[in-house]
């Protein structure tokens, strides 16, 4: 551990802080802290002025000629805004921080002591052992379940199964293990999310390691990844965030390394067995499924949420966890349409689809994107046909229905119709967000 005095201007607020997951940039990270923790941030800023500084050095990692803050983002943000109130995200907060700046006794600091760590794995170990109390915002804030989930998704720690250990075991049995040592922490980090594991043809979704593609195809992909990491052709910087991991796996896909639909595991045919007993079989009633209370069910759609999907993810989480169909149908119908439009725009921005124009209606854009997905083999013709029916204005389950929910004063959203429209569009939306 090294402590050093570092220029405050050289400290970068972490856009991939585990409190919020990946965001677009430092400005978005600062805004998130105030949107979600404004009272705590104000309390902390006042405490910093009262104390004439911060007591705990931020935990930082060198990033070029600057330093990214991994612990102490709230403290560092408050100090930055006291020094430069104009960076505060709202006019009201700019006034608040200007008053704090004016009340600072003596000269404002331009450097603060920081704990500098060169090893990101060590940083993750430190982070995991912290965040045990909040003290009304003055002390370190405790991580909630979603923040812990962001940490697990980023690092691959605490998934219950050591992915690297399982991969090494299977490669060793197949005599495909590289001669050099595999950096396990990097392998776990790369395969930290189920969506990334699925691309190699493996899954741990039900608490056990299993192959979801033909074992031979998955082993070839796993061997290549293990070799790239062991030979340091791919290092931590190359797989640090969601976009970097996706880029690397995409490059393997383009080389034909990853398993494809052709490698799907065939399900064994189940044959009916005649009963030797003359007694009639007892009938039983299957338990009724629970009625879905939110628009988006509690299902993993395999979306990895890179920074450019910040707003999309916020809307998704509101629709999946915070808004309820029986009590918030109007808010849900409006946000649903916004999510659909943003998802389609994301697909258009991330692909080379040419025949889409700014003045195209949403339904036309949807069909053009669906056609492209079908050409790429990501949806079949049957699903394409279902999506094309959503152009028909006379149908309840249609894009026109979503449009009328937003614009018509007399057309009230129905929870049942909203569920049905979601069920029709869920796969399409997920593919647009994974583009």
State the number of CA atoms in the 13 A half-sphere of 379 facing the CB.
Answer: 24
Q: How far is CA 241 from CA 59, 253, 305, 369, 433, in A?
A: 19, 18, 10, 27, 17
CA distance 303 to 114: 35
Percent of the chain with pLDDT strictly greater than 90: 65
Query: Residue 123's pLDDT is what?
Result: 87
Q: Where are the domains of the chain?
A: 2-143, 156-263, 307-433
Long-range contacts from 361-366, C-beta under 8 angstroms, 24+ separation:
362/399, 362/403, 363/390, 363/391, 363/398, 363/399, 363/400, 364/391, 366/340, 366/390, 366/391, 366/399, 366/428
- For position 237, what pLDDT does the model report? 85
Mean pLDDT, rounded, for 391-400: 76
Grade residue 153 by pLDDT with cuts at 50, 70 and 90.
low
Q: What is the pLDDT of residue 134?
A: 46
Contact 80, 13 (CB under 8 A): yes
Confidence (pLDDT) at 22: 86
Sign for the CA dihedral angle at 21, 22, 24, 25 comes to positive
Query: Which two three-digit tokens encode residue 310?
Result: 């910040």
pLDDT tens-place string over residues 344-383:
999 999 998 988 998 999 999 999 999 999 999 999 999 9
pLDDT band at 8; cut points 50, 70, 90: very high
């Amino acid at each position: 551990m090294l402590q050093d005095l570092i220029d405050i201007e050289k400290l970068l607020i972490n856009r991939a802080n585990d409190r919020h997951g990946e965001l677009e940039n430092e400005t978005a990270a600062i805004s998130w802290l105030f949107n979600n923790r404004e009272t705590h941030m104000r309390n902390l800023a006042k405490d910093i002025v009262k104390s004439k500084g911060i007591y705990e050095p931020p935990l930082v990692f060198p990033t070029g000629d600057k330093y990214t803050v991994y612990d102490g983002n709230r403290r560092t943000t408050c100090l930055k805004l006291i020094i430069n109130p104009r960076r505060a995200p709202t006019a009201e907060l700019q006034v608040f921080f200007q008053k704090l700046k004016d009340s600072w006794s003596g000269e404002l600091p331009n450097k603060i002591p920081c704990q500098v760590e060169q090893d990101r794995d060590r940083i993750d170990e430190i982070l995991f052992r912290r965040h045990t109390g909040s003290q009304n915002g003055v002390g370190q804030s405790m991580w909630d379940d979603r923040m812990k989930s962001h940490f697990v998704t980023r690092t691959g720690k605490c998934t219950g199964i050591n992915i690297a250990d399982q991969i090494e075991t299977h490669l060793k049995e197949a005599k495909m293990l590289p001669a050099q040592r595999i950096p396990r922490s990097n392998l776990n980090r790369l395969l930290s999310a189920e969506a990334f594991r699925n691309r190699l043809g493996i899954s741990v979704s039900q608490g056990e390691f299993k192959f979801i593609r033909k074992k031979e195809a998955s082993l070839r992909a796993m061997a290549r990844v293990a070799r790239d990491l062991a030979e340091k052709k791919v290092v931590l910087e190359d797989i640090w965030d969601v976009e970097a991991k996706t880029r690397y796996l995409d490059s393997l896909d383009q080389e034909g390394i990853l398993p494809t639909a052709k490698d799907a595991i065939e399900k064994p045919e189940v044959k009916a067995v005649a009963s030797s007993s003359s007694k009639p079989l007892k009938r039983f009633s299957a338990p009724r499924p629970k009625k879905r209370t939110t628009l988006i069910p509690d299902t993993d759609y395999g979306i990895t949420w890179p920074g450019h999907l910040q707003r999309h993810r916020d809307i998704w989480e509101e629709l999946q966890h915070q808004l309820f169909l029986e009590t918030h149908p109007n808010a849900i119908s409006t946000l649903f349409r916004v999510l659909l439009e943003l998802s389609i725009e994301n697909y258009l921005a991330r692909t080379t689809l040419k025949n889409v124009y700014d003045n195209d209606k949403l339904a036309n854009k949807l069909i053009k994107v669906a056609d492209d997905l079908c050409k790429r083999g990501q949806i079949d013709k049957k699903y394409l046909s279902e999506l094309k029916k959503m152009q028909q204005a006379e149908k309840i389950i249609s894009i026109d229905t979503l449009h009328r929910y937003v614009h018509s004063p007399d057309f009230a959203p129905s929870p049942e119709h909203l569920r049905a429209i979601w069920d029709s569009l869920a796969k399409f939306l997920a593919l647009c967000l994974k583009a």
